[in-house]
Amino acid sequence: MVSLNDAVSELAGVGPKRAQALKSLDIENVNDLLTYFPFRYEDLQAKQPAELTDQAKVTLKGTVAAAPVISRFGRRKTRLNFRLLLDEHTIIPVTFFNQPWLKDKLEVGAELAVYGRFDAKRQSLAGMKIIASADGGMGSIYPANKEVRQGTIQKLVESAYATYAPVIVDLIPEPLREQYRLLHRRQMIHDMHFPAGDAAAKAARRTAKFEEFYLFETRLQIVRQQDHTLNGQALAYDLAKLKAFIAALPYELTQAQKRVVNEICFDLKRPVHMNRLLQGDVGSGKTVVAAIAMYAAITAGAQAALMAPTEILAEQHANNLAKLFADFPVNVALLTGATKPAARQTLLPQIANGTVNLIVGTHALIQPEVAYHDLGLAVVDEQHRFGVNQRQALREKGRQPDVLAMTATPIPRTLAITAYGEMDVSVINELPAGRQPIKTTWIRSNQVDATLRQVKAELSSGSQAYVVTPLIEESEAVDMKNAEAIYARFKEEFEPTYKVGLLHGRMKNDEKNAVMDAFKANEFQVLVATTVIEVGVDVPNATVMLIYDADHFGLAQLHQLRGRVGRGQKASACILIADPKNELAVERMTTMTSTNDGFVLSQKDLELRGPGDILGKKQSGVPDFKVGDPVADLNILSVAQQAAKETVATPDWAEQDDNLALAAFLSTTAHQNTTMD
């Protein structure tokens, strides 16, 4: 009995060497081969002479009018020429390069079809291949490499389909297939490889996209369901104490913050493991929500930990939390790589015995020697900057502590559905009252002088300014402004009236902290910096953000930088300095000036640059789908996610008749990752 799980070596013509070559294309079994779909098609329908246009790829059908001639040129290169009689009036010269073996297929008077590129000026065809059948149709073009050629894939797919078509069964449950007017799987696979025409190819690709997304999302929902059944800690927090803490805050929570706090507290109470993503735009008040959640855990007798990606951000969190909890029984401690050995030696036993109940730090929190008394809640700030293994290591520091991941980079729906599909998502979509909108403008580099006068006017009113540049030192390879040159220019322009500071990633941590502390204390009025200030830096008195070479940044990063101002009660400005060289960069600049909505920007950034460029390939979390594009096909992805949720939410779903094939398929492909590390 044949099975789609059969190794490709079961096919005729696939020995050990070819099987290894196919593995380089991620083709190991017959299902892999049958779902290795073409990325485009060639129109093989023969054209008439009147239909030919210059440089078009066409199929011409005729008879060989003269014997082929082979000539040599260059080093080991050949040219095969013959004439093709299309009708009694039209003869087209045809040339094949470096395919001398075709001579044996070209008998004078023989009828054949040739596919190639038509040259209108020469009235000739640069041949690409001879087509066995001249009946037309569409030719499938597959992703190939040096080890596995196009023709090999085509022959293997034909062979596999001929043998295995009878065992291809529907994976999408019948009610869903009918609801969304999808093809049966056997028909979909046939029409993806051998479409009769454009309409058949489109219908097959639509079904293939849905199936791919649906299978992925179903796996994610199974992971999510399993995660929710893990035995977590039921944190019986003290509601009265929690309300007292919230009432003591110097401001009232927004409606969005209240909603999110309720979602998190509901999870904390349950005896199942929480795995929640808290996302919100820059300045939306995520840290206060996290503080409330951590205090809830502490009132239940547990410890809380907050892990941040940088020492500057960890120290800032520790200082802010110490102020928030000054009148409450919370003992805040900071643990980073910069913690002195003596302080560390004192701190570790206090964490282990529970004396310290709120630990803030960097990845130092997950080092082997750090033992917790009873870690109940782990908060991960800017979580996409940590790898999966680092987040998992923090979870393993307690008895399945609840996890709250935070990000100030608004997650577009595409990433929320794929990279974070196994998490519950809470969104703060409202800014605190009193926040002034940030006015963003884009100028060319020849307009900088006028802008500097605007900056001086802001400084004269007591405000401060950031000046950001992509590079630290001058580079011959890239023509961008650099921090040291800008620093020198601004010192000359602004001092002694205003003091100018410099901050970049190559400074030692003590130096960086000293510069930031001085800027917060208004000892510097202008801070020239690289993107080290992108996340978390909070100076309410800063009202101007000047970004040099802004076209070299992505939208998400520009939005993060812009979020460093507008944190106080004063109106703020973000000025982008850029001389973009292409339309893509121009579009980024105009998009930045048109909206302050981080969610809109993050989706646009994803569309313009792709997930790997935004978060880095390893952190993007978006898998490499074969046919579906999670950005362009967001609607299909969203529908597939909802369908998968409904499937898995049904009790005993895997035992229902409509789902048997799906459950069996998922159990045999459990090795496939749903997220990337």
Cross-strand bridge partners of residue 464:
542
Please enumerate in sequence order all residues whose Cβ is within 8 A of that of 488, keeping only pairs 6 or more positions apart, or say none.
Answer: none
Place of tokens 């974070």: 420
Q: How far apart are the first and last CA of the chain?
A: 38
The token pair that represents 176 in the structure block: 């869903």
| 200/192 Cα distance (integer angstroms) | 8
The DSSP line for 250-295 is SSPPPHHHHHHHHHHHHHHHSSB--EEEEEE-TTS-HHHHHHHHHH
Q: What is the pLDDT of residues 236-285, one digit of tens each?
A: 999 999 999 999 998 899 999 999 999 999 999 988 888 888 988 777 88
| 561/301 Cα distance (integer angstroms) | 38
| 358/332 Cα distance (integer angstroms) | 5
The token pair that represents 26 in the structure block: 């991620």
Helix (H, G, I), strand (E, B) or coil at 406: strand
pLDDT value at 117 more than 60: yes
Which of 397-411, 607-621, 624-638 is the least confident region? 607-621
Output DSSP code: residue 7.
Answer: B
Mean pLDDT across the stretch 508-516?
A: 84
| 379/297 Cα distance (integer angstroms) | 11
Q: How confident is the model at residue 89 (pLDDT cuts 50, 70, 90)?
A: confident
pLDDT value at 5 more than 90: yes
Which carries the bigger pLDDT value, residue 539 or residue 376? 376
User: What type of residue sits at position 446?
Assistant: N
| 374/397 Cα distance (integer angstroms) | 9
CB 430 within 8 A of CB 256: yes
Mean pLDDT across the stretch 610-616?
A: 42
Mean pLDDT across the stretch 55-76?
A: 88
Q: How confident is the model at residue 621 (pLDDT cuts 50, 70, 90)?
A: very low
Helices (H), 328-412: 341-353, 388-395
Q: What is the average pLDDT value for the chain, to the nearest integer? A: 86
Q: How far is CA 588 from CA 167, 601, 604, in A?
A: 49, 9, 9
535, burial (CB in 10 Å: exposed 0-12, middle 13-18, buried 19+) = buried
Question: Beta strands 526-529 and 500-503: pairing type?
Answer: parallel
pLDDT value of position 673: 46
| 72/67 Cα distance (integer angstroms) | 17
Percentage of the residues of the chain whose pLDDT score is greater than 70: 90
Tell me how crowded residue 173 is: count the other CB atoms within 10 A of its CB.
21
Which of 11-25, 43-57, 140-154, 441-455 is the least confident region? 43-57
Helices (H), 366-447: 388-395, 413-417
Q: How far is CA 622 from CA 93, 154, 439, 616, 675, in A?
A: 49, 29, 33, 11, 7
Name the nearest CA neighbour of 93 among 83, 103, 107: 83
| 304/375 Cα distance (integer angstroms) | 6
CB 301 within 8 A of CB 450: no
79 φ/ψ angles, rounded to the nearest 5 degrees: -130, 125
| 279/263 Cα distance (integer angstroms) | 13
Place of tokens 């579009």: 587
Output DSSP code: residue 531.
Answer: G
Q: What is the pLDDT of residues 19-57, one digit of tens each?
A: 999 999 999 999 999 999 998 887 777 788 888 889 888
